[in-house]
Amino acid sequence: MNELIVALAIGVLTASGTWLLLRPRTFQVVIGLSLLSYAVNLFILAMGRLKVDAAPIVAAGVVPDPAAFTDPLPQALVLTAIVISFAMTSLLLVVLLAARGLTGTDHVDGKMDEDQADEDQADEDQADKNQADKNQADKNQADAEVP
Amino acid sequence: MAWADHLPIVPVVLPLATGALVLLIDERRRALKGLISLVSLSVLLLAALALIRSVDAPEAYVYRLGDWPAPFGIVLVADRLSAMMVLLAAILGMAALLFSLARWHRAGPRFHVLLQFLLMGLNGAFLTGDLFNLFVFFELFLAASYGLALHASGPARVRASLHYIIVNLTASLLFLIGASLLYAVAGTLNMADLALRAAHTAPADRVLFEIGAAILAIVFLVKAGMWPLCFWLPSTYAAAPPPVAAMFAILSKVGVYAVLRVWLLLFGAGSGASAGFGAAVLVYGGLATLTFGVIGVLASQHLTHVAGFSLLVSAGTLLAAIGAGQAAVTGAALYYLVVSTLAVSALYMLIELVERSRGPGADVLAVTAEAFGDVDAEPEPAEEIGLAIPGAMALLGLSFGACALLLAGLPPLSGFVAKFALLSALLQADSVAVSAWIMLVLLTLSGLAATIAMGRSGVRIFWASHQANVPRVRLIEMAPVALLLALCIALTLQAGPAMRYLQDAANTLHTPQQYIQEVLGAR
């Protein structure tokens, strides 16, 4: 049961991460990389064999029984991997912001593609429409207030 | 312990300490920072030379961190190959530093700090004998290289670096997956221990072991730039500042180094049922990279792209040669690795010097001018006949010619020696494989392509240049280029001793039993 849950978690995280990684906008790529790194961290833990309710610490003075404690090495590896991927993701975020500022778009190639341009145009149209509606509403309200 | 016993840790600790020290100094005191960097790199060069001298012995130099014995503690292993790579990194670092002192280190903050950390990560990756430590050092030099690629900023650099960072972050995740799969099967991350257990893997686990190794190989091949994993390389390196690009020439060789080290340890001749696993991928992938590089060199409209695709050509040659799995070929490939790294590094710096006097688009014209007919039909002023070439231009021209000879592999320089040694070793086997013949053809073609690409730019720049303005070149910028090219010439003159050393290195790589014993043997 434990195995199934962990395997499903890794699978779902990897699948979502991979899909997001292949998206054209940088923010989605960053989230995809984060999900993938969660999946990889779980994977490393799983590679040390899953064991519930066991400490990775050997008691002093007794001959250790390998069956009684969990493998400490993957935990050390995961710790390192978490720190490194966290640092790298924050670095990537800085570059992403710089790219956004310099190129004016958040496309990974620094170019605005057709779909995105259309989308942005649609967003703007929607915003204009909302504004117009709001103006109309304000006007109506103002008219209503006039005695 | 005598102080000399600590030699293998020096290339890691010295740049780390220097980087930390330089970080503390105020950003405006660039001269002081440069001086400290220079002193530290000189010491590093001396240490690397001392390391080369001390490892040129039958046994490897094993340094146990914290004095824990090998399979449990982390070890640094200096053998001939890693000592040579450390020396190469130190030489390139020195060249890049000298070049940057003229003006590039003023183009953005913390150039010296990042350069030192890059060197530390590189040296660590070359020296470590532990797979997870290899990952950590990979991340260290990659983090520094991200900063350096962004040095001096600008939209082109940011855009190229974004791809570079994302590709490498994804590759790092694959590294973790591969390493942990190997750990799951073998229960160790020490490379020597892994090699020992690779031979005795249960048949049921063998598939998993090979999958882990294959995933690791993807990471190394992304770094080395094997087709089709190399799309990011030429554009990123072209966008990077010239001294950084010169340093990056060795970054792509880290992938080749890792393939050499891990592949020959885990899947060498003595590793039981999976011996030679993936050799065909290396050979034909290498040949595909070579082809792609040749096409790229011919199609490039800018000299920095010619340099980038030349890197791919050398990566392809190296991978195909390693895949052949013969000690003699590997020895020649190591010589080729040194020469091509030095030549490409010199070329990146040279391009910047040459480009200064040229208008934008001059390179495109160099490629396409003839297609538009005779655009330069106006008569030359008569008094230009017999005009002396200015000294700086002559020096630049000579260096450019030397780079072209080295990249094309034409005599009399060491590029020719390297290619000749490689081909003669490949064709000397009892039964010459088909891939060896393909490689013969492709290597010859790559030389032709390099000659054409360098020739048409060189003619435009140095012979048929209509602009009379000579680039202003400072001695400190010319010196590193001259240094790297002089090293290539020295490698031609001293090809015998160099080949002997590298052949010994290749032999120890192909018979890893001694390496394994040295690392695991408790002292």
Residue A96 near chain B (CB below 8 Å): yes
Residue A140 near chain B (CB below 8 Å): no
Residue B109 near chain A (CB below 8 Å): no
Residue A73 near chain B (CB below 8 Å): yes
**Chain B residues with beta carbon closer than 8 angstroms to that of A102:** 153-155, 158-159
Collapse the DSSP code of B337 into the 3-class scheme (helix H, G, I; strand E, B; otherwise coil) and give the result.
Answer: helix
The angle that helices B80-102 and B111-127 make with each other, rounded to 10 degrees, is 170
CB contact under 8 A, B170 and A87: no
The distance from CA B154 to its chain's CA centroid, rounded to whole angstroms, is: 26
**Chain A residues with beta carbon closer than 8 angstroms to that of B150:** 95, 98
Q: How many CB pairs under 8 A join A and B?
A: 87
**Distance between CA atoms of B33 and B498, rounded to whole angstroms?**
35
**Distance between CA atoms of B398 and B384, rounded to whole angstroms?**
21
> What's the whole-number mean pLDDT along residues B246-261?
91
Q: Which of A33-37, B212-216, B316-320, B461-465 has the lowest mean pLDDT?
A: B461-465
**Distance between CA atoms of A122 and B223, rounded to whole angstroms?**
41
Q: Could you tell me which chain B residue has the CA closest to the CA of A106?
A: B159
Indicate the residue of A47, A85, A99 with minimum beta-carbon distance to B158. A99
pLDDT exceeds cutoff 70 at A56: yes
Q: What are phi and psi of A50, to 5 degrees?
A: -80, 135
Q: Could you tell me which chain A residue has the CA closest to the CA of B147?
A: A91
Q: Tell me the average pLDDT of chain B.
A: 85
Between the ranges A117-126, B166-175, B352-361, where is the mean pLDDT highest?
Answer: B166-175
pTM: 0.86
Return all residues near B72 (Cβ < 8 A) that are at least 6 apart: none
Contact B234, B249 (CB under 8 A): no
Residue B165 near chain A (CB below 8 Å): yes
CA distances from B77 to A63, B6, B17, B127, B500 (A): 32, 12, 21, 5, 21
Each residue of B111-132: pLDDT tens digit? 899 999 999 999 999 999 889 9
Each residue of B425-462: pLDDT tens digit? 888 876 777 888 888 888 889 999 999 988 888 887 77
Structure tokens at B45: 């060069």
CA angle B87, B88, B91 (to 5 degrees): 85
Owner of token pair 């780079």: B403
Residue B154 near chain A (CB below 8 Å): yes
Q: Which of B181-185, B363-367, B415-419 has the lowest mean pLDDT?
A: B363-367
Longest dimension (CA), chain B: 82
Structure tokens at A43: 């994977």
**Chain A residues with beta carbon closer than 8 angstroms to that of B189:** 73
Each residue of B148-172: pLDDT tens digit? 888 887 788 888 888 899 999 999 9
**Distance between CA atoms of B404 and B413, rounded to whole angstroms?**
10
Cross-strand bridge partners of residue B64:
B75
Asked if the interface predicted TM-score (ipTM) of this complex is over 0.90, the answer is no
CA angle B414, B94, A92 (to 5 degrees): 110
CB contact under 8 A, A44 and B180: yes
**Distance between CA atoms of B406 and B346, rounded to whole angstroms?**
11
Structure tokens at B154: 């600008």
